[in-house]
Structure 1
Amino acid sequence: MIIDSLTKDISLVSAEDCLIIPDVHGRDFWKDAANRFPGNIVFLGDYLDPYPLEGISPDEAFTNFQEILSFKKANPDRVTLLLGNHDLQYFSKAYSLYSKSNRYSWKYAQLYEDTFHENSQLFQLAHTLAFPESEVLFTHAGVHSCWLHQHPYLLPEVSAEAINRLLDTEEGIVALTECSKIRGGDYPAGSPVWADQREMIHSEPIEGTYQIFGHTMLEVPVITCTFACLDTQNVYAIDPHLKINIIK
């Protein structure tokens, strides 16, 4: 698993590849590549709650989020919208009750909650794509083996379907709020919306599965033989040979 030392123009990306949009937080870096790409696109979550120092207002972030929703509705079969920890604060009342809040917007919370409620069917926690060399599992923050061991009854198998079912029960939603000490929590490992790249390095690999996630903001991507953390405000593409490129 390598990343090209040179970036690749979107016009050179094959439709057999998958475009990956890491944490948005109100930014519009996704637009050009996504609007020009004809294949599968996966957004890794965290659409709202912009970073104050980046100068993106909540109104601008919400407008950007509406554009992402419209893009999904126009391309329902090839665009996947994952949920991140920031999204679940507004997506689920139960999650908001039990979670460690992170830049929660009290002023805009009702608007965000209403928008997620009206569009809940557009979102999921996990997504898989089957490539010849491996299955690729997309989540917001990564599935840590220690977190899996803590929830054998909730997740008897590691699959996108099983992870997505966590939203169906309060027990599953509470498990999603778990955050490790690296992120200021009390658990040995974080959930698929809270795990940190630094703890994922020590996770046991999932047999036959390559993981791609964001959540941990980085200057350069971290790409190993078992996972890729891509939260760098860049668009990426993964090809059928599991080669990852930065897209411009």
Structure 2
Amino acid sequence: MKKILVFGDIHGRSFWKEVIMAEQPTLTIFLGDYVVSRENVSEEAQLENLADILQYKEEHADEVILLRGNHDTEAAGYRWAECYPDFESKELFPTKRFEQLTQWMHQQDGILFSHAGVSRTFLADCGMTIEDMERSADLNDPRFGFTPLDGYDTYGNSITQTPLWIRPDALITDMPQGLTQVVGHTTQSQVTMMEDEQGNELWLCDALRKGSYLCIEEAEFVVKEWVV
């Protein structure tokens, strides 16, 4: 029986290990943002946790998908990704190894997993299909960077924003049809589902600060909570 375990933004949290042990998934998907803690986790500890995640991917290559988040590209030092200097240890970030082991998005069984989501407008503007983006390895691809808006608003609530930056209120109005999307990026009190006018679902998973995560088993979406 196939069981997909989905973690929202990690931000230095390490209890993913216990959750995997308890859930025993066939596939684990991390939605990005492994660094930049809001809970006073030191940058040294964040990098150690990221190293553990990368090692876990290396040891279980076919059972783990690591997606990229906006804070990861910023921590890797790419200027097009940097809207604010949130991570001071850029010289210690394992950029090459991270690039080799991560991807922009993953699609299977009618479900699209990405850090923030993919809008129809972005697909039309970027010159790539979803399949192209799945295969794209280049961590320094500016098409995934932040799109400046009037006044250089860094929140990103616009259908023109990229899969690292778009916000749910914009995305839900401009979803590609026939796909369920599973994303992180925008903090929730627990994993939450939105639905557009055509019935396409958008699952918001940036809720690990409350221990909330998502399991998908035989097409059933189940929100679970780990006591942290």
Q: Is the 8 A contact 2:157 2:169 kept in 1?
A: no
Structure 1: 5+ residue runs without aligned partners?
A: 1-14
Deviation at 1:185, TM superposition (A): 5.5
Are the aligned partners of 1:26 and 1:61 in contact in 2 as well (CA < 8 Å)?
yes
- Residue matched to 1:162: 132
Structure 1 residue 22 displacement after superposition = 0.6
Aligned to 2:170: 199
Counterpart residue number, 2:107? 128
Give how far 1:165 is off: 4.6
Match of 1:87 among 62, 72, 96: 72
Structure 1 residue 236 corresponds to structure 2 residue 214: yes
Aligned to 2:92: 111
TM-score, normalised by the number of residues in structure 1? 0.77
Paired residues, number: 214
CA–CA distance in structure 1, aligned partners of residues 184 and 139 of structure 2: 25
Q: Is the 8 A contact 2:99 2:139 kept in 1?
A: no
Greater shift in the superposed pair: 16-25 or 59-68: 59-68
* 1:138 partnered with 2:113: yes
Report the Cα offset of residue 209 of structure 1: 1.5
TM superposition score normalised by structure 2: 0.83
Q: What is the CA-CA distance between 1:216 and the residue it aligns to?
A: 0.3
- Among 52, 55, 66, the alignment partner of 2:40 is 55
Structure 1 residue 242, shift from structure 2 partner: 3.7
Does 2:123 align with 1:148? yes
Q: Which has the higher contact order (CA 8 A, sep 6+)?
A: 1
CA distance in 2, matches of 1:104, 1:61: 13
The verdict on how the C-alpha distance between 1:187 and 1:165 changes in structure 2, with shifts beyond 3 A counting, is: farther
Confirm whether residue 18 of structure 1 aligns to residue 18 of structure 2: no
Residues 172-229 of structure 1: per-residue CA shift (max 9 Å, x gap): x2221134756446965310011112212222x3233111000001113330242111
1:177 correspondence with 2:116: no
CA distance in 1, matches of 2:74, 2:114: 16
**CA 1:119/1:219 → structure 2, altered by over 3 Å: closer, same or farther?**
closer
- Which consecutive unaligned segments of at least 5 residues does structure 2 have? 196-200
RMSD, aligned α-carbons: 2.4
| Counterpart-to-counterpart distance in 1, 2:142 and 2:156 | 13
Contact residue 45 and residue 84 of structure 1 kept, 8 A? yes
Whichever residue aligns with residue 238 of structure 1, its letter is I
SS at match of 1:69: helix
Please point out which of 198, 219, 222 is paired with 2:189. Answer: 219
The alpha carbon displacement at 1:166 in A equals: 4.8
Please say if residues 44 and 84 of structure 1, whose CA atoms lie closer than 8 Å, have aligned partners that are also in contact: yes
